[in-house]
Amino acid sequence: MKTKIGSLIFMFLLALSAHAQWQYPATQKVDSTNTYWGVTYHDPYRWLEYIDKPEVESWFRQQADLTNSVLNKLNGRDELIAEWKKLDKLQPPRINSIIYENGRYFYHKRNPGEIVSKLYYRQGINGKEELLFDPQAYITGKTLTIDAAIPSYDGKKLTIGYSQQGAEVTIIKVMDVDTKKFLNDSIYPSAGPGSWTFDNKSFFYTWIKSADNKDPGSRLNSKTKLHVLGNPMSSDIDFFSNESYPEMKIDPSVYPFAFLSEDSKNYIFSGVGSVQPEITANYAPADQLHAKKIQWKTLCTPSDKLVRGFAIIGDDAYAITHNNAKNYKLIATSLKHPDWTNAVTIAAERKDQTLENVTYSKDYLLIVHSDGINNHLSKYNFKTKKTSEVKLPYSGTIGISCVNSKTNDCSLGITSWNRPYMEYNYNAATDALTPSSFNKPPVYPDAYKDLMVEEVEVKGHDGVMIPLSIIYKKGIKKDGLNVCLMDGYGAYGISMTPYFSMLENALAVKGVVIAYPHIRGGSEKGEEWYKAGYKTTKPNTWKDFISCAEYLIAKGYTSKSKLAGTGTSAGGILISRSITERPDLFAAAICNVGCANAMRMEFGSNGPVNIPEFGTVKDSTECRALFEMDGVQHVVAGTKYPAVICVGGWNDPRVVAWEPGKFAAALQNASTSGKPVLMKVNYDNGHFTEDRSVTYANFADQFAFVLWQCGHPGFQIKK
């Protein structure tokens, strides 16, 4: 008995000693509570939500300093950054966001080694390339990011929206393309420019109330405004909003939008944007553009269950629906008398594939399906009304775009877990594939060609089979000694589609197993898969993740002491609940700009617009579901939690830094494992940024931390 008591005392002192080595900033607890539907919820870290207060800002600064002091001692981090930079410099220039207007191609282009894209154009696809805007040279000492660049229909003017440090608050300028000089027009704050009017004299943009991303009201009651060139911003027209159309009862949390389409010139279109996948849209005759009050007609409502893709060509509207089609189907109706209930079926639901998206060229609809892992392409001929399959050079995830709908010339890109993105010119009429006019083949060292992929299915907690993709270096042994990083998401119906991740594959070549569970909340298996990880069914999301972790351990890919998990953004629900439900299963975890405090999400600046996805505390059932999702609410004192690094972007408008901050605070005060809990604060970032120097440093810190805690020999404390 004495020996047993002595052992317990020794273990207790050992735990205290281990905990003491991490001198966390003092974090006070305040007795904050909310009572919803007869249940009282305690929230002792509520004070951290007041992020502009000096004591809160000081707490985050101290956390950031501690995190940096720890991470600066690790081997491997700087080597990771160097590896990514080396790989980046090997690649050809990368071109994206291509828009065609009046013979001119406008696009973003990033050369090897550059940290952000610049804006260019060509006169004709093979024309001379002209630089229009360099975001690094525009304001001395600042690196900007181009959010959007939209040319007028005559190709002579260009709205350029840019932001800085990941803030997603856009400044809009207007450039004369021929002179490459900016006009006097300037708009700020905004959420970005929209389409031009056909006379090329005005354009739409999304107006927001405030540039302060920490203000919960900054993005409520946003508007689509119409700006006339040469006029001051103060005279811009409230074109579509709840204020200008109160009878439409537009919710304050959504983003009203309006646009014109060159492929359907007889109409104006409007709608509202939120995370709700079902589309809400209206239309009106184009001659009402300058009317004091537009007589909007309903094009579709959420009850029509139109999702994913929408194409309007002349008087015809094509849309993807899950109405009586759990794997989705493509239907069409006429704008003269829209009737989605009796719409014509263009592409019927497939039993073993989900319909992912649709685009179009001059003579064809191009339709992409997925079998859960690989994409499949077919084309529908407008004239013959027949559909035929398109043979692809190899399997993977495809992206297809037709920037000029007056021809059948398109761009087709393919990637997979272990094959980098390859782009082709694709002619929809002949199915001919030729080398891309924009993006050349990628270049990677031989080590990246030896990555193996396994696609398996894992039995979940309720017997449902969960797809799991596993990437690893050729020749590894399944002896339980491999470090493994699991990366999951599981929200909004967004699937973990195969793509070549330079950042994570750089870990795989170092012997790390990379695993992507296709958990419920995504839509790899259709609408039902999405709704099986949604609101009240959300626990399936992290339980699927846990089941996949157990499989990887049981099959020898890794072990508990070598396993790390990561979740980003809405994936913060996934990772925070995985480690609070099964803290014994993981050695380390990353909560990257993560939603870790679900019950408080709707009170953040981007929270109200996310209510359709996660729910609200104002509904009794949804309130209970939010509690189940809430990592902060499930931290239990005296528990041995894994090592955790929480990451917050100081300029993040989507997940304000207090969400991962509160999770870090709760874990620091509760964990008895002696493993570190760090709060990394990116003061030069938001939810994400294009800036490669910031991105590389951010993920090198995250990966180095978990590889250190999982015992990878290349990522230990420097001697």
User: Is 559 inside a domain boundary?
Assistant: yes
Mean pLDDT of 447-463: 97
**Buried/exposed code over 102-123 (b: 16+ C-beta within 10 A; e: otherwise):** eebbbbbbbeeebbbbbbbbbe
Instruction: Report pLDDT digits (tens) over 376-408.
Output: 999 999 999 999 999 999 999 999 999 999 999
Mean pLDDT of 674-690: 97
Could you tell me what percent of the chain has a pLDDT over 70? 97
User: Is 100 inside a domain boundary?
Assistant: no
Q: What band does 577 get if pLDDT is binned at 50, 70 and 90?
A: very high
CB atoms within 10 A of CB 650: 21
Using a 10 angstrom Cβ sphere, with 0-12 exposed, 13-18 middle and 19 or more buried, the burial of residue 238 is middle
Tokens representing 26 are 């003092």
Instruction: Report pLDDT digits (tens) over 58-68.
Output: 999 999 999 99
Rounded Cα gap, residues 95 and 107, in angstroms? 7
Which backbone phi and psi does 75 adopt, to 5 degrees?
Answer: -75, 160
Q: Give residue 45's pLDDT.
A: 98
Domain of 526, CATH number, reads 3.40.50.1820
Number of domains in the chain: 1
User: Is 242 inside a domain boundary?
Assistant: no
In contact, 131 and 120? CB cutoff 8 Å:
yes
Which residue reads 């967004």 in tokens? Answer: 494
Q: Is the dihedral of CA 156, 364, 303, 607 positive or negative?
A: negative
Residue 11 has pLDDT above 90, yes or no: no
Q: Which of 100, 216, 144 is nearest to 694 (CA)?
A: 144
User: Is 184 inside a domain boundary?
Assistant: no
Mean pLDDT of 87-96: 97
Question: Which range marks the domain in which residue 498 is found?
Answer: 52-85+445-709
Residue 521 has pLDDT above 90, yes or no: yes
User: Is 191 inside a domain boundary?
Assistant: no
Residue 490 has pLDDT above 90, yes or no: yes
Instruction: Report pLDDT digits (tens) over 565-576.
Output: 999 999 999 999
Residue 469's DSSP bridge partners are: 455, 516
Q: Which of 414, 428, 566, 431 is nearest to 488 (CA)?
A: 566
Instruction: Report pLDDT digits (tens) over 649-668.
Output: 999 999 999 999 999 999 99
Q: What band does 57 get if pLDDT is binned at 50, 70 and 90?
A: very high
Helices (H) and strands (E) in the chain, counts: 11, 37
Rounded Cα gap, residues 216 and 235, in angstroms? 26
Mean pLDDT of 110-133: 97
Q: Give residue 719's pLDDT.
A: 83
CA-angle at 605, arms to 599 and 606, nearest 5°: 75
Q: Is the dihedral of CA 460, 464, 465, 468 positive or negative?
A: negative
Q: Give residue 119's pLDDT.
A: 98
User: Is 406 inside a domain boundary?
Assistant: no
Mean pLDDT of 344-348: 98
CB atoms within 10 A of CB 490: 29
Q: What band does 213 get if pLDDT is binned at 50, 70 and 90?
A: confident
Tokens representing 382 are 């407008």
Q: Give residue 12's pLDDT.
A: 39
User: Is 134 inside a domain boundary?
Assistant: no
Amino acid code (one letter) for 516: Y
Residue 69 has pLDDT above 50, yes or no: yes
Q: What band does 182 get if pLDDT is binned at 50, 70 and 90?
A: very high
189 preceded by cis ω (within 30°)? yes
Mean pLDDT of 425-440: 97
Rounded Cα gap, residues 452 and 430, in angstroms? 34
Q: Report if pTM > 0.85.
A: yes
- Average pLDDT value for the chain: 95
User: Is 178 inside a domain boundary?
Assistant: no
Q: Give residue 2's pLDDT.
A: 38
C-alpha radius of gyration, the chain, whole number? 26
Mean pLDDT of 329-336: 98
